[in-house]
Structure 1
Amino acid sequence: MNKGYVLNGRYEIIGRLGEGGMADVYLAEDLILKRKVAVKLLRLDFRDNPKAKKRFQHEAMAATQLDNPHIVGIYDVDEVEGMQYLVMEFVDGEDLKKYIKDNFPIPYAEVVNIMEQICSAVSEAHRHNIIHRDLKPQNILVDKNGYIKITDFGISRAGSEDTMTQTRSIIGSIHYLSPEQIKGQMATARSDIYSLGIILYEILTGKVPFNGDTAVSIAIKHSQTPMPSVRDFDPRIPQAMENVVLKATAKNPDDRYQTVNDMAADLNTSLDKSRANEPRFAVEPPEDTANEATRVMPFAPLGDTTPSADAKPASREPESTSQENNNKKKTPKKKRRRRWLIIGGIAGILLIILAFIMIASASGKTTVPIVSGTLETEAETKIQDADLTVGKVKYQSSDKIDRHRVISSSPKEDKKVKKGTKINLIVSSGPRMVRVGNYVGQEYDVVKQKLEDEGFTVHKRNAPSGTFRSGRILQQDFQADKRFNPSTKTLTFVVSTGVKRITLKDLTGMTKSQVVAYSNKVEINPTFDYTYSSDQPKGRVVRQSPNANESIQQGGNVAVWISRGTKKDNSDELKSFNMRITIPYLQDTSTAASSSSLNESDESGEESSDTNSGGSNENVVLIYLKDHDHNLSTVYKQMVITQDTQVLLPFKLSNNEVGKYKVVRDGKTIMRDNNVTYDSH
């Protein structure tokens, strides 16, 4: 079910939370009540399976009977277009299995708290005569505040329910199943208590007590092997707490706690000092256990009729003696019947074990198909054709593998596995796209580190500012709230150098080129004018404004007058005038195209850029001017524009002179006038 799908016109799917043997679970938004919920949807391949549908309905009925803060609530049960679904309370957290892994070792007081919450939920179920039958950490959820919720009553049953169909069948998770369930016997409340004891063992040690290569080997250990000691794993665990584990997991249900509340009460005091010297819990064997064990020994010589070396030859005895012997033989017959009953019981257990072995080996082996590089749908078909099932599908960004194609599988390709094994897939979600924000006003160093950690290349240009202090971002060359591929995107910032004051030196006597060099060094902007002077030779600075030793802001302007030389009496009178021109702004065509598809690219996850963000498409313009004081071969003014810009060009011409100007952008002349006169302006 895809993101955005609205189930039954009410529940909008946000994403997948997980999957089970029969159903998938999704996070959804309840559009009516405006809350997040978990939607459990019966898988497509089970929708025509009567047993699966019955189990699914059973879970809904069982859970709706229960009202406990530690049981996941059921909000809605329905079917639409052949899809059966449950709407449940959404628990924002993780299952207990992962919680143990993430937080182990867990303090003993917290262990008690966790188990008390679990026991509260199970006790509520038992109060309604409902046996869970599949208690395990994977069915216990822990929210972000450490609050416990039990879920998945799919195989629970009422205590009064007919169990004829359940005997000789194994239902539940083998690592947490009680010995009586493993033997196919009826599950009771004490079967759930056994599972709680295994869960407590796992919380204390971080692992289950019994493991093995096959389900059969694990089942045999549950039935025959004594429970390992948690104190052997951690001697600091109080004996009283270990006793709770041992009593809950006793092989004989009669030796366990009578109720879940009894177990919770015992666990609640297990850390008390008054129980510090408590002896280790041990089950007392029945009174005749030793005798019965001894009686088993004669089974071997039952068929041995060879007389001993000291035996006398057989002789016919009197009839009375024979009758007496017949009476004596009646007693051994009872013993033989008991022996045969015991033999029959052992044979039954062996048959059950043999059945497990046959079931385990019947599935056979198959090879994991080659799925890397194929589309996800093709990979699923290949897996199913190989008698395997698709497990978890995880999506991962990739610059090398196209979107929706498989990156890898687990187990790996070409590996021999049992038929029916779940094959987990990692599927490409395409290049990793990262959403960027508006960073204007923020510290450049902090933003730079954050973006470089994401994989972006970051560039900086400095500029003075009276608004932002040094180190703050003035402009950015990309649009905020867009997503980009960090491996291919370069982000450029204009960063404030702050307000810096410059004490001007005396420029008098300098040439124009010397003034320009000095201005570039201290980062000020000179403007030049020309005047006649008898004090300075032609081409040298006559005066300046502000004057020498005065202070100006970095980036500020300083006016400089350069000598034309001594004025001659017969020289033509110079005429001064300004010419106003408008320099057109040129938007880069590739950037314009990107801008025109902003909405489209945002939906598809493709890279986009903003043409109107500060400095993203600046025009660098050079202006050349020729008049009485300027030469067309040198730059009169350099500008950076981001829109159509008006400029005043100052001309000084004698009666016989003609002015000129040209505007150059990217090496191309875009404006020119070779006939500027006083009359023509």
Structure 2
Amino acid sequence: MNKGYVLNGRYEIIGRLGEGGMADVYLAEDLILKRKVAVKLLRLDFRDNPKAKKRFQHEAMAATQLDNPHIVGIYDVDEVEGMQYLVMEYVDGEDLKEYIKDSFPIPYAEVVNIMEQICSAVSEAHRHNIIHRDLKPQNILVDKNGYIKITDFGISRAGSEDTMTQTRSIIGSIHYLSPEQIKGQMATARSDIYSLGIILYEILTGKVPFNGDTAVSIAIKHSQTPMPFVRDFDPRIPQALENVVLKATAKNPDDRYQSVNEMAADLNTSLDKSRANEPRFTVEPPADTANEETRVMPFGPLNETNASADANPAKREPNNDHPDAEKNDKKPKKKHRRRWLIIGGIIGLLVIIIAFLMIMTATGKTTVPVVSGTLETEAESKIKDAGLTVGDVKYQSSTKIDRHRVISSSPKEETKVKKGTKVNLVVSSGPRMVLVGNYVGQKFDVVKQKLEDEGFTVHKRNAPSGSFQSGRILQQDFQADKRFNPNTKTLTFVVSTGVKRITLKDLTGMTKSQVIAYANKVEINPTFDYTYSSDQPKGRVVRQSPNANESIQQGGNVAVWISRGTKKDSSDELKSFNTRITIPYLQETDTTDASSSSALDESGASDESSADNNSGSNENVVLIYLKDHDHSLSNVYKQMVITKDTQVVLPFKLTNNEVGKYKVVRDGKTIMRDNNVTYDSH
């Protein structure tokens, strides 16, 4: 699709954003709402493929059910000239795969923030019983402010569907696929949790845990090979954060988190000081996995023997029948000599160390050990082993030294001091953490200045609102009453722009029903009048006020004049007049007073004086029907809610030969009617 092409008369193509297996994605301009959108267009070679079309429609249906700021919104779904397309929210940024490449290594606090946003979106899908089944970095978008959006629900399914069992094929991307899906079992919410664990592993290490030359080899590893430890890649990663990876990617779904919310809660505290000494997460191995069948489809049967051989290489036994066996028997003698030389060297080194310690003991002095960068407990052990005592321990925030590790000591390291000297330590408490609150409803400029003074980076997104004044905060993308590191945390706010303004389109030539449909879509209120016209046929719009391309507030009024057709002769001259009616309000009697006689006078007549022109506590729903030259009695002319006797002016337009009518229906009952309204009678 070329630049400048206008799809369905509304979306002007700006350029190509990317290509997928079944669809191409374009950047486009919505000519009506004046905003950039992403248009996903089914490729030509798939337009006659019913499965592709079904998946395309399924993506739209699944995504439109979900309302979460971290899920890409679907604006429009349509087909034109045989082309099926989706119009989606445009995210100005890159996918998470590219973000990891560009930003690695990513600070741990930012890793947790990214995963919490992803978990928020997946939790919303699971709340609607939708399993994504294809969670991977390529389906997660990161905008320029670090805001996360997940997309591509094309192969998602409702929790009640057993698509895997029905199709007997692998659905999803093999690098992020759960063991149960590989075995041909049904995907569940915990299958998505497994994929989230793989994504977290990749964010922390910059690579996927399992790779191979073929999809089959990768599938075997997911099913049989233990998850690699992220701390083997980077020992600075907190054990609690590694535990999130291990628990999310447990082979048995029952050993994983029970829900995405549980995983998010664990992530939320994974960097806390209280979890610094947490043991590594482990699960009990299954009682018998030897006979468990691993079915990988549609790749065909797996060669599990070869996989086992790769994992456990065979041991080579010596061949005593070899002609060089005698030579081989002589080699151990040389090894024995070398071993004695090594032992002798070690003994000599020990003698030197003992002599050094004896000299230091004789002089009563020792050396302050090197403790910077070590854990606090390890530093205390080193100090005591050196014959010193631990003095004051002070905690200081640091962005360079991890929590619980020593920043410095006093006296300084490697200085000679008397035995028993106190060594004071300065230990890192981690980055400075600042408590944030709930700022919804407050002025953005004031909140922004306050948070920037604390060191946070603050971003803003605008959105219309009829509830909040312009400049007030509508939403925030972080949890209130939590502490964040200002050096790594970006706080994003959605800020009200006030009531949304609508740029009116040209209504000339439309029918009344078309005007009503347009008004409902953009949320404006049309009022109709009728006029003779030689330019427009009967029933078509002649003019409007405000005019086309003028701007009004959402919910504002637009006056529309509809053609009566061409005026033929003077007998068609219309006469306009008004009829005033008073609609009586009916106060429903409270059931508690139903048996009371105070509402009746002695003669048994009801006392209506208290109800006249008096507001009642109940509402009457009133429908008014009117027939004149321009209106039909079969259509509602006006609908209103009254709480007291209400006067209404009914405008009539009649020729000399026409008779007008009206009726008033209150709460489903006709209470007023006139079938003989003429100009002469008024």
Q: Shorter-chain TM-score: what band?
A: 0.3 to 0.5
TM-score by length of 2: 0.43
TM-score by length of 1: 0.43
Larger-gyration structure (1/2):
1
